[in-house]
Amino acid sequence: MDSSGNLYGTASVGGAYAYPSGYGTVFKVDQSGNETTLYTFFGPPDDGCTPMGAVTMDASGNLYGTTSGCSNGNGGGTVWELSGANEFVMHYFTGGADGGYPLGGVILDASGNVYGSAGGGV
């Protein structure tokens, strides 16, 4: 939630890009209940798909989260940052030694480091 009372979250399906039901979105809901889609995931190989965890907001209003699949042709998921309308993938999981398929969100420390956990992997 931001200082104006807006809530932020992810939807694991839907959005503008089909697979058959979209790759997921990041959204905002204001105090009146109006929903705004802030970002739609493109899916493979660009930025991942199926965001499942909560989002985290930093002091500048940037949002951080994970997707649980479709990363850079590997399928292992991503860690992303959304700054305004610009999404940046911070990490592409391979599903191997670095883990993959995160189902939870991330947290930030006071220095801006991002922490989370990934599910599967070899």
Q: Is the pLDDT score of 17 beyond 60?
A: yes
Q: pLDDT class for 100, splitting at 50, 70, 90? A: confident
Give the integer Cα–Cα distance in Å for 3 and 69: 31
Establish how many alpha carbons lie within 13 A of residue 46's alpha carbon, considering only the half-sphere containing its beta carbon: 10
Of residues 91 and 16, more confidence is placed in: 91
**What's the whole-model pTM score?**
0.90
Give the integer Cα–Cα distance in Å for 12 and 22: 9
Q: What is the mean pLDDT of residues 101-120?
A: 88
In this structure, are residues 94 and 76 in contact, taking their beta carbons and an 8 Å threshold?
Answer: yes
Mapped onto helix, strand or coil, the DSSP state of residue 26 is strand
Of residues 43 and 6, more confidence is placed in: 6
Q: Is the pLDDT score of 99 beyond 90?
A: no
Residue 113 CA to chain centroid, in angstroms?
16
Residue-level pLDDT at 22? 80
One DSSP character per residue, 32-94 reads T--EEEEEE---TTTS-B---SPPEE-TTS-EEEEESB--TTT-S-EEEEEETTEEEEEEE--
Q: Amino acid identity of 122?
A: V
Residue-level pLDDT at 73? 66
Using one digit for the tens of pLDDT, what is the confidence trace for 25-82? 999 999 999 999 999 998 777 788 899 889 999 999 999 999 998 877 677 899 999 9
Q: Is the pLDDT score of 121 beyond 60?
A: no
